[in-house]
Structure 1
Amino acid sequence: MIVSPAFAGKRYAVLGLARSGLATVDALAASGAHVIAWDQREDARALVADKAELGDPMEMDLAGLDALVVSPGVPLNRHPVTCRARAAGVQIIGDIELFALARSSLPAHRVVGITGTNGKSTTTALIDHIVRTAGLPSRMGGNIGLPILAQAPLPEGGVYVLELSSYQIDLTFSLDCDVAVLLNITPDHLDRYDGFEGYVASKQRLFVMQSPDHPAIIAVDDAVTRRIADALPQTVPVTARSVAAEDQSRWPALQGPHNAQNVAVAKAVAEALGIAPETTAQALASYVSLPHRMQRVAEIDGVLFVNDSKATNAASTAPALAAWPPVDGRPRIHWILGGLAKSDSLDECAAGFPNIARGYTIGEAGPLFARLLGEASVPVTECELMVTAVAEAAAHAQPGDIVLLSPACASFDQFRDFEARGDAFAAAVAALRDKAGAETGAGA
């Protein structure tokens, strides 16, 4: 884990004991800080009882704390702890800010910070892969699900590659990224912000924290990111068009226009880090998709099954629908969609409708989405359940077709999270593969 003398002898309260909260308690306690920790779940509190004093920030006196460290999941615009901390004069921070404060005690290193509405995890993992391919020590952390404070410190010359959500940026005040990245901004998480512009301002703060001589690599493929790029002196603009003209078939795990943007950004980051273009090209070719992000799960009887469960809104699904255009005029995508809708439209996906052979709706949004697809003259089967959708899609698909789970919805109506939803898709595909194998064996 990352420890620092910067925390020794100080008092911190930690609210929220999921992955990042537990890592925060461990790092602070190991650094010699006095830690007070709390979570509504008794089992979570039990995990830190030997390292921290237990205390609810909603009931304890916050005066005298050096900071209140909260989980990114705590809605600061609605949670009453925000007013209590403000009244006590206590700053609310997150684990990324603690990492920023610890940097001066770590071996010399660089930090790449990646934000945006869609594509953050793939770009983070891709940059980490490029850095490792170049022979440099690298650590991924942040919103990708790996708490940075739980990571072992890198040796001198290492690169920390951080995926940063808007929630994490809101809790960070001194992270000066050696390279900062913005992919795109579309409306999302608006329940946490004062409208779309509030969300945009949150993303923009990543660059406000940067030194002016540190590059800000911004994909200027939309009006919002162009506006941010024009306001910064250190901008290195890139565009997906610079990659879309290349042969993406050289990069099997990076198909579709959204991955063209991810690749364009990753190339620019690699150049900023001094990595040779031939090394970057090698890394792009050998990169393997993250689970649940355009992940190739299996090919059965010539039909490709792709798990894009991470696509939790229409904007993130739209590029997946563009990845496989018709062949000889025949649409090839069998689209599994639905869940807990974030919007009552699929307008952002409409450009991809000509690529869809049939839709298969699941979950709470199933009836709504079936109606919308029907109105757009896209054939549709209402399935409700994932296993039914996979079976129906496989039955309709022909060799050369793609069965694509890209739900355009949150998962919480039927699944714990998008990972559980993607795992259910993969399990249903595995059952089909086993059945196909058994039938082939029986006929042999």
Structure 2
Amino acid sequence: MIVSSAFSGKRYAILGLARSGLAAAETLLASGAEVVAWDRQDVARDKLAGRARLADPLEMDLTGFDGVVVSPGVPLNTHPIAERAARLGVPVIGDIELFALARAALPPHKVVGITGTNGKSTTTALVHHILESAGIPARMGGNIGLPVLGQEPLPVGGVYVLELSSYQIDLTRSLACEAAALSNVTPDHLDRYDDFAAYAASKARLFAMQAPDQFAVFGCADEPTDAICATQRARRAPGRAVCADRAALALRQADWPALQGPHNLENAAIAAALCAELGVANDAILAAMASFRGLPHRMEVVAEHRGVLFVNDSKATNPASAAPALAAYPPVAGGRARVHWIVGGLPKEDGLGECEAHLGNVGAAYTIGEAGPRFAQLLNGHVRVERAELMCQALRLAFAAAGPGDVVLLSPACASFDQFRDYEKRGEYFREIVAMLTGAPAGVVVDPCAGKSAA
């Protein structure tokens, strides 16, 4: 756990005691702060019983408090705590701001902050992997993994790698990252912001908090990101605000199984720029990219068997998120489409959406779940279609049909709830069936559906 004398004798109210809220409470208590905490659930409050005052900040006088700590999930544009705290001059902050305030008490270190509408989780995990592969002590936190305050402090020379959502940036005032990145900005979370411009401005705040001599890298493939880069370039020395150099890595991307596709080339270019800024040699960066396995359920390479790649992209719960996976595996020499696409589930929308542009990469589609018949109808005439209904059936068919150089891809473009509890369970089931099929002795035919049911 991270503790700091900066909190000693101060007063904080905490609203919400899920993972980040509870970690904040533990840090503040261990640091000698007075803590008032509240959560709607008794079981959450019980964890602090006898150690913190349990009271609802909405029903008490907050005069003189040093901050109200809220979860990033609290909508500041509508929740009454924002107006109440503002009226009393009390800042509303999150656990990342507490981390920023605690930094002075930690051994000398650096912080990398990574944000963006898409790609920030993969980029964060990739930077963490490169640093650890290069022998640099690193912790990963923020919007991914464990709350940063709940982790053990790094030794001298360590690097904290933080994925930061716009919500977390909204709750942060003083985090000056030694290196920061913005992958892209596209319309999202507009229920929390007045308009798209306000959402983009939230992302830009991460870079406004940096000093002019600190480093920032940007995707620059969309106009809002390019505009933020230009603004930062104007206030910094040459080379301290740059666009990611995709071209420098494009010829090496084929060597990185978990980083295929244009979107992952952007992620890799951003990660490479950040790690180079942190002193990692180029050869070490390239070697670590080849060994990166990806995040669970996000284009996760789960096996390679007889030249066939098996990829779990269960997190793709709509066509827009499945499209990058299809784009990642273009036809092999001679024009043979090599993707065996497992698609279907509980539909979120009707139609193929952005996936339609990449059907030339699909050799066959195996439709499953409630949306299976509709996908079969949409895909018929464009690619070969096998109606499977269950994933075990789809994998049995794809395993039999796929040859060297092919990719068996679970990227359902649908929610999981027709057959699975969540996308994680769906991805775990995919892994289990792939292990069964690839682990069978040569010449032995196994039935992956025998005794199997959806989870």
Identical counterparts, % of pairs: 62
1:243 touches 1:261 (CA, 8 Å); kept in 2?
no
CA shift at 1:208, angstroms?
1.2
Letter of the aligned partner of 2:284 in structure 1?
A: T
Bigger shift: residues 397-406 or 223-232: 397-406
SS in 1 for 2:302: strand
Whole-Å Cα distance in 2 between the matches of residues 338 and 200 of structure 1?
33
Q: 1:11-61: CA deviations, max 9, x gaps?
A: 222222222122111111111112222223332222232432222334344
Distance change >3 Å, CA 336–CA 279, structure 1 → 2? same
**CA 77–287 in structure 1, closer or farther in 2 if over 3 Å, else same:** same
- In structure 2, what is the Cα distance between the partners aligned to 1:382 and 1:187? 35
Q: Is the 8 A contact 1:305 1:402 kept in 2?
A: yes
Q: Tell me if 1:278 matches 2:312.
A: no
Question: What's the offset of the Cα at 1:439?
Answer: 6.8
In 2: Cα distance, 1:301 partner to 1:224 partner: 44
- Would you say 1:319 and 2:324 are equivalent positions? yes
1:332 to 335, 338, 341: 338
Matched, 1:349 2:373: no
Alpha-carbon separation, structure 2, partners of 1:217 and 1:57: 39
Matched pairs, number: 439
* Aligned position for 1:305: 310
| Change in CA separation of 1:199 and 1:51 when aligned onto 2, cut-off 3 Å | same
1:293 — aligned with what? 298
**Amino acid of the residue matched to residue 39 of structure 1?**
D
Q: How far off is 1:182 after superposition?
A: 0.9
Can you give the 5+ residue segments of structure 2 that lack an aligned partner in the other structure? 447-455
Cα distance in 2 between the residues matched to 1:192 and 1:360? 38
Query: Is 2:438 aligned against 1:429?
Result: no
Give the distance between the partners of 1:195 and 1:415, measured in 2 at CA.
35
Q: Does residue 49 of structure 1 match 2:49?
A: yes
Aligned to 2:451: none
Moved more, 11-20 or 357-366: 357-366
Which stretch shifts more, 405-414 or 417-426?
405-414
Counting only pairs closer than 5 Å after superposition, residues 9-408 of structure 1 correspond to structure 2 as: 9-233=9-233, 234=236, 235-244=241-250, 246-300=251-305, 302-327=307-332, 328-338=334-344, 346-361=352-367, 369=375, 372-374=378-380, 377-380=382-385, 386-391=391-396, 393-394=398-399, 396-408=401-413
2:15 and 2:418 map into 1 onto residues whose CA distance is: 27
Alignment partners' CA distance in 1, 2:84 and 2:282 = 52
Change in 2 beyond 3 A, CA 1:338/1:176: farther
Runs of 4+ in 1 over 6 A off after TM superposition: none
Shift of 1:3: 0.6
Cα deviation for residue 119 of structure 1 reads 1.8
Between 288-297 and 89-98, the greater mean CA deviation after superposition: 288-297
RMSD of the TM alignment (CA)? 2.8
State the alpha-carbon separation in 1 of the partners of residues 199 and 418 from structure 2: 25
Secondary structure of 1:226's counterpart equals helix
- Given residue 104 of structure 2, which amino acid in structure 1 is its aligned partner? S
Counterpart-to-counterpart distance in 1, 2:292 and 2:62: 47
- 1:162 deviates by 0.8
CA distance in 2, matches of 1:47, 1:412: 32
What is the Cα deviation at residue 391 of structure 1? 4.4
TM-score by length of 1: 0.88
Structure 1 residues 377 and 195, CA gap change in structure 2 (3 angstroms): farther
What secondary structure, in the 3-state scheme, does the structure 1 residue paired with 2:336 have?
A: coil
SS in 1 for 2:266: helix
Matched residue, 1:440: 444
TM-score by length of 2: 0.86
Q: 1:365 offset after TM fit, Å?
A: 5.7
Amino acid at match of 1:38: W
Q: Secondary structure at the match of 2:335?
A: coil
